[in-house]
Chains A and B, each alone.
Chain A
Amino acid sequence: MTTKPAPATTSTTAPVSPNRRRGSAKGGSRRHGEGLAGYVFLSPWLLGLMAITAFPMLFSLYLSFTNYDILSSWEFVEWVGFENYWDLFVNDQTFRHSVQVTLIFAFVAVPLKLAAALGVALLLNRETRGVGLFRSLFYLPSLLGGSVALALIWRAMFSGDGAFNDFLGLFGITGQPWVNDPDWALETLMVLAIWQFGAPMVIFLAGLKQVPTELYEAASVDGAGKIRQFFNVTLPMLSPVIFFNLVLETINGFQGFTAAFVISNGTGGPVDSTMLYTLYLYTKGFTEFQMGYASALAWVFLIAIGLITVLFFSTGRFWVHYSDGDND
């Protein structure tokens, strides 16, 4: 170790015998000092937790039972009980539609994205020259993909006279304005999400490196071909990483906003086909200023994401394979 905590020696303390030092550390005065230091270091985070996270959360819970809109003053705020929630679940067609769109988006785009990530990771896992370069370039879309610029580019590419239709034209296929077609607009958003497969791919690659080669050797001695090796060695050994990626990407998938906003010009159109949940929340809160209603939307969202996370973790037990307790 070539570390250099050398300047530390400059601070001054009276030399203490080892015994006394240990005694004082146990006896509380020192530990008390560390406890105080702990809260000193933690104080910005604690303040942030209270002021920026916890208080707004409770505030939003309160708002969800009111008819608050930011335009009129607080005197006109009325407690409406469960009316917002009732409206949501019973009367609001757009809410139901946006839930549907969001679920389709997350549960189609995320598995395809992870499949692409795993496929490319498997191709890169062999000793190929330039693995590092390939890995970096595949990762690039994950850094750029969330931006407004990329969404604008996507919109132009999948418009009527965009590059995608030019490509189809090479095969004699006449395309259509994909982003303006209610049947295809969500699919273009999915393609944009899948295009960003690089981030989970990098995590898969790190996971693949952890699989002991002895397992493959043993499997091939037993006569297992490449495909059986994949299903009986690679997949089980990789299942914790798959699980991690699945949870992370699904939760992210529910929160897509930028691309849907840009491609539909903030409307969620055509015909609400790209009305992702977060876009609907934004519309209610910041273009219609129904902030009480938007808060109810936010709490439904929070509870839904919580439930889905719990669901993942409870089903994970049945297929996620942890090799810690080996040789059972």
Chain B
Amino acid sequence: MATEAAPMSTADGSGSAARRRAAGGTARGVARVAVLVAILVVVLYPLIWVLGSSLKSPTEVASNLSVIPRDPTWANYPDGWNYLSNISFGRFFWNSTVISMATVVANAVSCLLAAYAFARLRFRARRFWFAIMIGTLLLPSHVLIVPQYIMFNSFGWIDTPLPLIVPKLLATEAFFVFLMVQFMRGIPRELDDAAKIDGCSPFGVFRYVIVPLARPALVTTAIFSFIWTWNDFLTQLIYLPSVESYTVPIGLRLFIDSTGQTSLGPMFAMSVLSLLPVFLFFLAFQKMLVQGINTSGLKG
């Protein structure tokens, strides 16, 4: 239906449209920005609210309805940090960091290898395996948790980070394989051919052409790997049962059971701290991507 109009576009039509857009454009523009700002306030409100609440004393959390604390105090942060008497949140942050960083490296390496094979190399049954890979993209992870748990349990891997990291070493995050395949398809094949003429084997092409040029895709993979692992709850809940191996999300879960005003402040404080790394990644996100594109030489 839309395409019927397509052949009608002529030069004299654009002039009147532009004029119409300019007339009344400013009033409408101001209204549009006002609507956007209003939506933004609603969207950001929960975050501002929790930040404000984390700085309120127990009595103020109950009495002061304003977002801004009347009498800001940092006390909730040490209280939350040492919420459990025998172990601090520092341990949980350390565990989360180790698992997230290991996942970043594992995903980046394993998915890059698989993606190179799919995007560039000719081998038997490539299309078949590629179709299977796309199929696993849509496979809900919940379907596999029971048998995987039984399997890792029989290996004696419960309460270690291994069930969380080893699968990532085997490129099981199909989303990143797919993302990298898509990216590599955009790298000109002439570069591969040039390297081959210079005597490169498939390994040489990978090492000297694909790896340096795929950096933006690697950066994207690293960022999302980190954030998703940092936020992940279900697998960490299942595989990390003892307090010493808790990660931040599992540690935060302890606040669910506690009721009453005294634990609200520490809960808000630890929630803010747990969101902070993701927020920092968010701030650096675009800058890193631009940087990745610039240094990879894709800009031309």
Tell me the A residues contacting B by CB distance below 8 Å.
1-5, 7-9, 11-13, 21, 31, 33-39, 41-42, 44-49, 51-53, 55-57, 59-60, 63, 70, 120, 123-124, 126, 128, 134, 136-141, 143-144, 146-150, 152-157, 161, 163, 166, 169, 195, 212, 214-222, 232-233, 236-237, 251, 254-255, 257-258, 261-262, 265-266, 278, 281-282, 285-286, 291, 294-295, 298-299, 301-302, 305, 309, 321, 323, 326-328
A257, B147: Cβ atoms closer than 8 Å:
no
Of A124, A163, A305, A321, the residue contacting B140 (CB under 8 A) is A305
Q: Given the complex, which residues of B lie within 8 Å of A323, measured CB to CB?
A: 2-3
User: A60-B143, A298-B143 known; A5 and B123 CB under 8 Å?
Assistant: no
Question: Could you tell me the distance between the alpha carbons of A266 and B237 in the complex, rounded to whole angstroms?
Answer: 11
Q: In this assembly, does B74 line the interface, its C-beta being within 8 Å of a C-beta of chain A?
A: no
A285, B146: Cβ atoms closer than 8 Å:
yes
Interface size class of B (residues with CB under 8 A): 35 or more
User: A60-B143, A149-B274 known; A5 and B208 CB under 8 Å?
Assistant: yes
B29, A126: Cβ atoms closer than 8 Å:
yes
Q: How far is the CB of B165 from chain A (nearest CB, A)?
A: 12
Q: In this assembly, does B62 line the interface, its C-beta being within 8 Å of a C-beta of chain A?
A: yes
Question: Could you tell me the distance between the alpha carbons of A255 and B234 in the complex, rounded to whole angstroms?
Answer: 11
B46, A52: Cβ atoms closer than 8 Å:
no
A258, B6: Cβ atoms closer than 8 Å:
no
A255, B252: Cβ atoms closer than 8 Å:
no
Q: Given the complex, which residues of B lie within 8 Å of A45, measured CB to CB?
A: 110, 113-114, 117, 133, 170-171, 177
Q: In this assembly, does B183 line the interface, its C-beta being within 8 Å of a C-beta of chain A?
A: no
B253, A1: Cβ atoms closer than 8 Å:
no
A148, B300: Cβ atoms closer than 8 Å:
no
Within 8 A of A (CB), among B1-49: 1-3, 5-10, 13-14, 16-17, 20, 29, 32-33, 35-36, 39-40, 43-47, 49
Tell me the B residues contacting A by CB distance below 8 Å.
1-3, 5-10, 13-14, 16-17, 20, 29, 32-33, 35-36, 39-40, 43-47, 49-50, 53, 62, 65, 110, 113-114, 116-118, 121-124, 126, 129, 132-133, 136, 138-151, 153, 167, 169-172, 177, 188, 191, 194-195, 197-206, 208-209, 212-213, 227, 230-231, 233-234, 238, 248-250, 252-253, 255-257, 264, 267-268, 270-272, 274-275, 278-279, 281-282, 286, 297-300
